Structure 1
Amino acid sequence: YLAYPQAPDGLGSEPIFAVRADRDAERLVDVLRETIRAQDPTATLESIMTMEGRVMGSLARPRLYATVLAGFSAFALAIAGVGLFGMLSYGVTQRSKELGVRTALGAQPRDIVRLVVGEGVVITLVGIAAGLAIAFGLTTWLSAFLYGVAARDALTFTAVPGVLLLVATLASFVPARRASRIDPLSVLKGA
């Protein structure tokens, strides 16, 4: 605590008063204004707020950053899902003759679905393994710079791969269903 006249210039030129109240602090605003004006009629009160309001105000920017980051993350996840969907759709189109032959030789539709979804999951697992290796190294480095960032956060290291795997599986189902419906006769006639 420093008395206002003793405060160095760097601490600001406006005093801040903190008042503890046993009742609703919003109702004390008029009483505070009158009390301060009784001491100094030229004093003006610019911002009177509760401690809760001050805390919420100080958290507004970090909350905004977290919301924007979550939005960008969701967008990136959607792009990854669409990319995997496109890649698998293209692969199914390119392999339609092979899938038609498999069906003609007795492969059941569930076998074709399992094949295509399995390929999508394998591609995703390779990406997850590479991402986890990089993230594992980066979190160790980042924990030295950021307060509250655990180097080995188990929730993050399990939830993120789980969500990615779920998105990849869902993105694989549409091409897989299309592949399972390939008519072997029409595909083989076109060959």
Structure 2
Amino acid sequence: MPSTDDIAPARIRAGDVVMTVILLGVFSGAFLLARDWPFRAAFFPRLLSVAGICFSVLKLIQFAVLLWRPARSGPVEPPAARPVHADDEEQDDQSLEYVFGSAGARAWTAAVAWVAGFFVGLWLVGIYVIVPVFALAYLRTAGKASWPAAALYAAVAGGVLWLAFTRLLAVPMPAGVL
């Protein structure tokens, strides 16, 4: 087994850095927007945005360490061979990095359209309407779920949101412009 001194540094992709910087900006903007809200309304957004800022900064620090770490010299031994099973290859094909790296323009367009549709719906009709409607629509079309399963999930998602934010926390949620 190779020692950690013999392992080559990980490759840093520009897209990873760009996405991390964008997320840092989004979380920072969310924190600044919530700054003027009443404490109870701003607590959850502030908590999430601070966590997002911390994780984004940690990821940027990790990129910097990988970038400035001196390259190790010397031979690198291959890892010990292990038997390859058919399900190992299938699992590798479904890894997150593989999925993001191999998705075509059509898949990316569909994903961005779903996200944009959710946020437009959130702005128009509010969270209590868009979450169940979006869950039902997404599960039926993209997830190919059955009507009963999609409807149950949508009802539970809407109910949990209403119960948590309206009844338990008494936190005002976006109502929408309509």
The normalised TM-score by structure 2 is 0.24
If you compute each CA radius of gyration, which structure gives the higher value, 1 or 2?
1
Larger RCO: Structure 1 or Structure 2 (Cα < 8 Å, ≥ 6 residues apart)? Answer: 1
